[in-house]
Amino acid sequence: MSAKSSIPQPMLEIRNLKASIDGKEILKGINLTVNAGEVHAIMGPNGSGKSTLAAVLAGREVFEVTGGEVTYCGQDLLSMAPEIRAREGIFLGFQYPVEIPGVSMVNFMRTAVNEKRKYLGQPEMGAADFLKLMRDRKALVDLDTSLANRSVNEGFSGGEKKRNEIFQMAMLEPKLAILDETDSGLDIDALKTVANGVNRLKNKENAVIVITHYQRLLDYIVPDFVHVLFDGRIVRSGDKRLAFELEEKGYDWIREAN
Amino acid sequence: MNVLLDKKILDSQLTDWYFTNRDQLMAASNSVFNSFRPEAMECFRKMGIPDKSNENYKYTDVREVFLTPFNRYIEPRKILFSVEDLFRCDIPELDTELVLLVNGWFYENRPRLEVLPNGIIIGSMAEAARQYPHILEAHYSRYADFRKDALVALNTGFAQDGTFIYIPKGVGQDRTIQVVNILLSPEDLFVQHRNLVVIEDNAMARVVVCDHSLSAHHFLTNSVTEIFVGQNARLDYTKLQNEHNSSNQLSSSFVHQEKDSHAIFNTITLHGGMIRNNVYTRLNGPGAENHTLGLFLADRNQHVDSYTYVDHAAPGCTSRQNFKGILDEKATGAFTGRILVRPDAQKTLAYQANNNILLTSEARMNTKPQLEIYADDVKCSHGATVGQLDENAMFYLQTRGIAKREARLLLMGAFGHEILKQVPVEPLRDRLNDLVDKRLKGELSRCNSCPLQCQETC
Amino acid sequence: MVPFIIAESHEIMNADQDQIISQVTQTEYKYGFVTDVESDALPKGLNEDIVRQISEIKGEPDWMLEFRLKAYRYWTTMKLPEWAHLKLPVIDYQDIIYYSAPRSRQPLGSLDEVDPELIETFNKLGIPLDEQKQLAGVAVDAVMDSISVKTTFRDALAGQGIIFCSFSEAVREHPDLVKKYMGSVVPYRDNFFASLNSAVFSDGSFVFIPKGVRCPMELSTYFRINAANTGQFERTLIIAEEGAYVSYLEGCTAPKRDKNQLHAAIVEIIAHTDAEVKYSTVQNWYPGDREGKGGIYNFVTKRGICMGDRSKISWTQVETGSAITWKYPSCILRGDHSVGEFYSVAVTNNHQQADTGTKMIHLGKNTRSIIVSKGISAGLSNNSYRGLVRVSKNADHARNFSQCDSLLLGDRCGAHTFPYIEVDNQSAVVEHEATTSKIGEDQIFYCNQRGIDTETAVGLIVNGYAREVLNKLPMEFAVEAQKLLQITLEGSVG
């Protein structure tokens, strides 16, 4: 909770993180440091563990953490329940956003926003203020007003679902946003809209981890650092040029080098 | 005449008949059969033949079919006939191991009990009880619970003979086993055969059962078939009912499946009088999968009632039921399908569908799909429809120049095809498709394969 | 914190809703208080004398006594039905008080004359009995134990020819209507509990909407069982004449008592040509405690008949209470083009048992019915849907669609579906679909990731699951129903 500390500390520090599912090890020792104001891109071939890393950071229980530690704003992240992580400012943009029939977006978001406010000791947001906030943030991602009144992700197209994720990010104003393949299945216009949304939410106080398979998204969301994840480990780190190199040489290049 | 009273008398008549013939029954049979008779008949006496007040028989008053004064035999009557003359199997490419039952008794066109080179045993149930009592002791009356159903109790009380099939561990059988139940008698007859199929672990069996009536008398069959499917064993079972309209059939089958086994049980009903098919499935070990299917075509005053009960007693099992009915003229049909998911049978997948088409204003269909679920991590669904052929599809076909009658046949054929396409034996599947097509065209107005050519018997 | 639902189509939220959230933090049954009012009661037990005494106390005419006696005599020949998927306890019908009335010396003229304790009771229940809340526009008939305490708003309604009064009053003031319609939809021989009710019913509500009148407000009855060892046997009769419309709401509560109490009511609805009746229930009888002790046995016969062409009857129910529920609000679709609807949410928790559903009997041509049933089971409870769709011979082009979904929360509860479909007409189309599932782990995680804890997430998801039905309730009722769903399920997950 200490965004302002006298000694600068990393926002997120992952040390030798290992995780498995059904006894199969997926993450085999991840090391990564993210500071406020930074954009990190994590790239890698299918099955390298990108989505697992996102899920583990968000607290998905099907993955068992078998080693390592994660410090988030000076706290032990791994001991927190998923909803506490969320209230502490971690946002996961889902690769496959979940449909919740019958629950309206308005109701869903209002619950989420007020749960967070309560947790932070702030008064709950009144109806009028909340609706105003919704309107503002919807504009940010060009989300149709009618979508916000429909059930959570129900009957949304792929692009609508992704925009809806960014809309929720805008509503919850996270410190650390982890966007898991937010670009997959988007056409160029939708990609631009989503990236614009992310860029406008970006500031010195927060950080973004963009997980993607393709370099294309990084034309729009420009990363400070690019990491290549392969077989559960980060095998290369560099600046945005690394992404171009990857695009050019393909993942086989990594595969051969490892 | 007070029909109700008569029906009550009926129960006691059947009980009396048992006591009159008990000594003879016991003397003629092996102790495996005999050991269950007294309790079974006691259960029958308590329950009586089910009528509509029994929730499981809500749409079929079974007592009606017992009202004919049938002859009942404690020992087989000599019926002499030549198999070749009287019965032609119309599936020429189908190379089968043929077992004949005539009026519920094993017919000696082959040894009473035969051990094939791969260890498979096929033949008479009565003979199997004599030669392999340990197999019967392990399985007989273990799956068919006579405490719950009076018809099973009645069969267990009188059981003497039927078909016996045994596939030893790990044996994959090449030839389809074909069981032909023939009804042929100079007088009205009540028949109760009792069958057992045992497929040991990792073994496979393909069974086709054909029911035919070959003389123009009233018949009533009350049969019970128990099937054990061992671990990782496979069963393909197809039952073809093709009897004349004075043949009433009560058939109860019990499929017991162990871990990782797979069974298909398919009932195709082309012809008959009043037919009630009970198929009980118990998924007793994790990972078992069951497909219970049925298609019936009914016309005139036929009544076809299908009852299925799938008991998910172990976690991680899958069951699919798909039943279809086409009802013409004054036919009536009923379907009851019950899925039970027991506590702790988690990760169950259970689906059930029942679709019916009514072709006339006098046809009638009742359907009762049911889910009874006590575990939470399950996916279960059922659906039922009663309706007509799709008008839009009919019109579409007509605009392509297809006559209305042909269009109707095409659509009905397509409707039934969904069940038939799951028959695994190709020659049989082709033959069934052919039979169903003929049946739909009205070319099969009497039972097939019947050289007697008996006309309207109803 | 507890979730809430707000109007979907318009982004309207008012301060009220914030209040609702803070109100809904109680986990225990909150209507379990006992009101300390004097009551007059007959001795325990049932015989012809008791039946005569009930009739006498109520000053009934002979024809009504005759009806009761016929019903009583028939009831003595009947047996409790056994087909329901319920573990029915043995009920000692001689251990029940069949008549109990809050004591009053004369007929009540205005609200001032009502026992203040009673007004307090209904205030606790949130029933708008006082003048101020009458402005809210809901006319209320409150039935405590067996007696109608007060009917509000009646003068305003009378101006349009609408009759909204207690059943007893209707027997006195409108005997012709009562004689004509009582028992015409649910005959006294209909079933065990209907016969019992017909013999001993003490009061209830009566509604008559004359030809062409649209009732300008929701009519509402609150039922409350207060006295101990008492059965409640009320009877409701709703008649909508040609072209009339009415929306009727029913709510119910009872004090916590260790002993089970019996509630066996009858509701009859008659809709004439072009008439429409909407009947909504939020049933919240005391369900018993966590161990399954106490609670109401709710054995109710509700049935409506669409007499005339193009008439419509719609049942909406939210069932959260009662130890045992046995209830099948039904529609007889007699008029051509008539419509029957059934929307239901039934929640069971702890040791509750529910066997509920509907019957749609299609008699007329082009009749349509829709059934949407959402069952939610938690704890050790058993929740069954049982429904009949019958298309009779002359019901050409009848249509039915049924959707029955079950949601399981926990692995010790049961969810069951028992539809009966009987089609005797070739041109009918009947479709039934049912699913059983549990709340998706991925759905809960998605909510968690947005900062919503698991219990709140379950509340949200359950309310979403029931949305289709809750949307059919009038606004005030919908809010109450959401609160109830939440309270009923609290502590059942995680």
Considering only residues B279 and B73, tell me which one the structure prediction assigns the higher pLDDT: B279
Q: What DSSP character marks residue B181?
A: E
Tokens representing C429 are 């189309």
Q: C60: helix, coil or strand? A: coil
* pLDDT, mean over chain A: 88
Look at B385 and C83 and tell me if their CB atoms are within 8 Å. no
Q: Which of B151-165, B305-319, B434-448, C79-93 has the lowest mean pLDDT?
A: B434-448
Pairing state of beta strands C276-283 and C324-327? Answer: unpaired
Q: Residue B379: which H helix or E strand, with range? A: strand B378-387
Tokens representing B159 are 């059981």
Provide the pLDDT for residue B174: 74
- B residues 328-357 near C, CB within 8 Å? 343-344, 346, 356
Residue A16 domain-assigned? yes
Q: Are C150 and C111 in contact (CB under 8 A)?
A: yes
Q: Taking CB atoms and an 8 Å cutoff, what residues of chain C touch B369?
A: 417, 419, 432, 434
Q: Are C289 and C34 in contact (CB under 8 A)?
A: no
A134 interfacial to chain C (CB closer than 8 Å):
yes
pLDDT digit string, tens, across residues C290-308:
888 888 889 999 999 999 9
pLDDT digit string, tens, across residues A101-136:
888 888 889 889 999 999 999 998 888 888 889 888
Provide the pLDDT for residue C479: 74
Residue matched to tokens 């809309």: A167
Nearest-angstrom CA–CA distance, B236 and B205? 6
Provide the pLDDT for residue C395: 94
Look at B388 and C427 and tell me if their CB atoms are within 8 Å. yes
pLDDT digit string, tens, across residues C474-483:
776 777 777 7
Provide the pLDDT for residue B458: 32
The structural domain count of chain A equals: 1
Residue A170 domain-assigned? yes
Find the residue in C nearest to B338 (Cα). Answer: C418
Other beta carbons less than 10 A from residue C310's beta carbon? 18
Chains that touch A (3 or more CB pairs under 8 A): C
Is pLDDT at B457 greater than 50 in this prediction?
no
What does the domain layout of chain B look like in residue ranges?
A: 3-457
Residue A124 domain-assigned? yes
Find the residue in C nearest to B379 (Cα). Answer: C437
Chains that touch B (3 or more CB pairs under 8 A): C
Other beta carbons less than 10 A from residue C66's beta carbon? 12
Measure in Å the smallest separation between the Cα of C467 and chain B Cα atoms: 20
Mean pLDDT within B366-387: 87
Measure in Å the smallest separation between the Cα of A98 and chain C Cα atoms: 6
Q: Which of A155-159, B388-392, C14-18, C216-220 has the lowest mean pLDDT?
A: C14-18
Phi, psi of C298 (to 5 degrees): -110, 95
Listed in sequence order, the residues at least 6 apart from C165 whose beta carbon sits closer than 8 Å to its beta carbon are C141, C148, C151, C154, C173, C205, C206
Q: Are C313 and C277 in contact (CB under 8 A)?
A: yes
Q: Among C406, C426, C432, whose Cβ lies nearest the Cβ of B384? A: C432
Look at C434 and B382 and tell me if their CB atoms are within 8 Å. yes
Q: Taking CB atoms and an 8 Å cutoff, what residues of chain C touch B358?
A: 423, 425-426, 428
Q: Among C6, C449, C468, whose Cβ lies nearest the Cβ of A102? A: C468
In total, chain B counts a number of residues equal to: 458
Q: Taking CB atoms and an 8 Å cutoff, what residues of chain B touch C429?
A: 385-388
Q: Taking CB atoms and an 8 Å cutoff, what residues of chain C touch B57?
A: none
Q: Are C237 and C204 in contact (CB under 8 A)?
A: yes
pLDDT digit string, tens, across residues B212-265:
888 888 999 999 999 999 999 999 999 999 888 889 999 999 999 999 999 999
Counting residues of chain C whose pLDDT is more than 90, the rounded percentage is 40
Measure in Å the smallest separation between the Cα of C43 and chain B Cα atoms: 38
Read off the pLDDT band of C20 (50, 70, 90).
Answer: very low
Q: Among C1, C9, C442, whose Cβ lies nearest the Cβ of A118? A: C1
Is pLDDT at B150 greater than 90 in this prediction?
yes
Instruction: Count how many pairs of residues, chain A against chain C, have C-beta atoms within 8 Å.
Output: 116
Is pLDDT at B139 greater than 90 in this prediction?
yes
Listed in sequence order, the residues at least 6 apart from A217 whose beta carbon sits closer than 8 Å to its beta carbon are A182, A183, A191, A195, A210
B272 interfacial to chain C (CB closer than 8 Å):
no
In DSSP terms, A32 is beta-bridged to A14
Is pLDDT at B389 greater than 70 in this prediction?
yes
- Closest Cα partner for C380 from C350, C400, C403? C350
Look at C17 and A127 and tell me if their CB atoms are within 8 Å. yes
Provide the pLDDT for residue B223: 97
Q: Taking CB atoms and an 8 Å cutoff, what residues of chain B touch C411?
A: 343-344, 346, 375-377
Nearest-angstrom CA–CA distance, C367 and C334? 8
* pLDDT, mean over chain B: 87
In this prediction the pTM is 0.79
Q: Among C442, C453, C464, whose Cβ lies nearest the Cβ of A101? A: C464
Q: Taking CB atoms and an 8 Å cutoff, what residues of chain C touch B346?
A: 411
Pairing state of beta strands C163-166 and C205-209? Answer: antiparallel
Q: B313: helix, coil or strand? A: coil
Other beta carbons less than 10 A from residue A154's beta carbon? 16
Look at A111 and C460 and tell me if their CB atoms are within 8 Å. yes
Provide the pLDDT for residue C18: 33
Provide the pLDDT for residue C147: 54
Q: Among B55, B378, B386, whose Cβ lies nearest the Cβ of C83? A: B55
Read off the pLDDT band of B299 (50, 70, 90).
Answer: confident
Is pLDDT at A167 greater than 50 in this prediction?
yes
Look at B383 and C423 and tell me if their CB atoms are within 8 Å. no
Please give the order of strands across the beta sheet that includes A24-34: A24-34, A12-21, A64-72, A75-76
Gyration radius of chain C's alpha carbons: 22
Tokens representing B174 are 């090449």
Read off the pLDDT band of B194 (50, 70, 90).
Answer: very high
Residue matched to tokens 């979508």: A147
Burial of residue A192, with CB atoms counted within 10 A of its CB: 0-12 exposed, 13-18 middle, 19 or more buried: middle
- C interface test, pick of A85, A96, A110, A115 with most C CB neighbours within 10 Å: A115
Residue A7 domain-assigned? no
Helices first, then strands: H and E counts in chain A = 9, 12
- Calculate the CA dihedral of residues B17, B19, B24, B27 and round it to 10 degrees: 140
Find the residue in B nearest to C397 (Cα). Answer: B387
Provide the pLDDT for residue C24: 31
pLDDT digit string, tens, across residues C240-251:
999 999 999 887
Q: Which of A170-184, C74-88, C230-244 has the lowest mean pLDDT?
A: C74-88
Read off the pLDDT band of C110 (50, 70, 90).
Answer: very low
Is pLDDT at B65 greater than 80 in this prediction?
yes
Q: Are B227 and B144 in contact (CB under 8 A)?
A: no
Q: What DSSP character marks residue A63?
A: S
Is pLDDT at A78 greater than 50 in this prediction?
yes
Nearest-angstrom CA–CA distance, A69 and A14? 6
Find the residue in B nearest to C421 (Cα). Answer: B367
- ipTM of the prediction greater than 0.90, yes or no: no
Is pLDDT at C467 greater than 90 in this prediction?
no
Nearest-angstrom CA–CA distance, C374 and C151? 33
Which of A212-221, B305-314, C3-12, C144-153 tops mean pLDDT?
Answer: B305-314
In DSSP terms, B335 is beta-bridged to B306, B367
pLDDT digit string, tens, across residues B332-352:
999 999 999 998 898 899 999
Residue A2 domain-assigned? no
Is pLDDT at A13 greater than 50 in this prediction?
yes
Nearest-angstrom CA–CA distance, B120 and B204? 11
* pLDDT, mean over chain C: 80
Residue matched to tokens 């003397």: B27
Considering only residues B295 and A250, tell me which one the structure prediction assigns the higher pLDDT: B295
Provide the pLDDT for residue C366: 96
A156 interfacial to chain C (CB closer than 8 Å):
no
pLDDT digit string, tens, across residues B77-124:
777 766 665 555 566 667 788 899 999 999 888 899 999 999 999 999
What is the residue type of B106? F
Tokens representing A20 are 């498995």
Residue A231 domain-assigned? yes
A168 interfacial to chain C (CB closer than 8 Å):
yes
Nearest-angstrom CA–CA distance, C177 and C95? 34
CATH (domain of A65)? 3.40.50.300
Task: Kindly tell me whether chain B and chain C come into contact, counting contact as 3+ Cβ pairs under 8 Å.
Answer: yes
Q: Residue B86: which H helix or E strand, with range? A: helix B83-86
Q: Residue A227: which H helix or E strand, with range? A: strand A225-230
Residue matched to tokens 């068919």: B144
Listed in sequence order, the residues at least 6 apart from C75 whose beta carbon sits closer than 8 Å to its beta carbon are C192, C195, C196, C198, C199
Look at A91 and C449 and tell me if their CB atoms are within 8 Å. yes
Q: Taking CB atoms and an 8 Å cutoff, what residues of chain C touch A180?
A: none
pLDDT digit string, tens, across residues C60-75:
999 999 999 999 999 9
